[in-house]
Structure 1
Amino acid sequence: MAKETLRVAAYAVIIDSGRILLARLNGTEGRRWTLPGGGIEHGEDPYHAVIREVAEETGYRVAVDELLGIDSHRRPSAYRRARPRTDFHAVRVLYTAHITGGELRHETGGSTDRAAWFDLRRVPGLTRVSVIDAALALHTARPADGHTVPTT
């Protein structure tokens, strides 16, 4: 039987002049680009979590513009080498935001090791986490219910 793991996180979609701000995740599945953001701490509001996470991972201070939507992503066979096996479910709260201050820098001692701006046209060629695709789909479609179709 797989161990059930739920992770609730908040992420920022920061797009400026045709570029998107990303952070490079340095995790168990290798280095992959993701949105700046991360796990919500117990008792923390997602709105405050995304502001904190962006600052930690990129050095920028941000203002949240709007709630973009919620993405639910489940990987029943996640962490295949882990024992016991893990049924991983991520609930990702996605916001749009803009930079209000700070300077781009890389996180040290955290889950990411690099932050960078990418032309939006380059995103499909990046090794990336699925939250980027879900967020960009929401950003483009702007569904009234703020919901993405669950990915497997």
Structure 2
Amino acid sequence: MIRRYGEQVKQGQRYRRRPGVYAILLDGDELLATHQAAPVPEYQLPGGGIDAGEHPVAALHREVFEETGWRIAVQRRLGAFRRFTYMPEYDLWAEKLCTIYLARPVRRHGPPTEAGHSAVWMPAVAGLELLGNAGDRAMLARLLGRR
């Protein structure tokens, strides 16, 4: 069973499953996150949806690069969780299946290429409060050995 975080499922609402991949990017005690300006400003783990026919790790590399401008070295899969949410940018009610990987930032190539995103370094422990998604915070807490 995959743990669920976030909003309650709305009875009668149809959700479309949307698999995605996200990275906890650590360099020592520092976490590389992305700040998304819209639709609601928040810090997030970099990542996103997997395109049809795309391998999850390839999607992770693509999404992290788009949202941070960094190339990464994927170390291992940490786990997965589900979120049921409305995605206004796609006008979509989604069941997001979020798979989280541990990765290391290797080299910055430039600013993020995805509009409205900026790369932000923060102490990893600060991410436990600043990340806008309860699932992201829980996966980071588990990795850092905190509850």
TM-score band (shorter)? 0.7 to 0.9
Alignment deviations for residues 33-79 of structure 1 (CA, whole Å, 9 cap, x no partner):
1011111001111111101111111111111111111112234xx46
Question: 1:56-67 counterparts in 2 under 5 A?
Answer: 56-67=66-77
User: Cα distance 1:45–1:116, how it changes in 2: closer, same or farther (>3 A)?
Assistant: same
TM-align CA RMSD: 2.5
Cα distance in 2 for partners of 1:79, 1:53 equals 17
TM-score, with structure 2 as normaliser: 0.76
In structure 2, runs of 5+ residues without a counterpart are 1-11
TM-score, with structure 1 as normaliser: 0.74
Alignment deviations for residues 80-99 of structure 1 (CA, whole Å, 9 cap, x no partner):
9xx9x94x311011111112
| 1:126 partnered with 2:130 | yes
Sequence identity (%): 27
| 1:6 partnered with 2:12 | no
- Which residue matches 1:92? 98
Cα distance in 1 for partners of 2:136, 2:107 equals 23
Please say if residues 72 and 89 of structure 1, whose CA atoms lie closer than 8 Å, have aligned partners that are also in contact: yes
- Which residue matches 1:137? 141
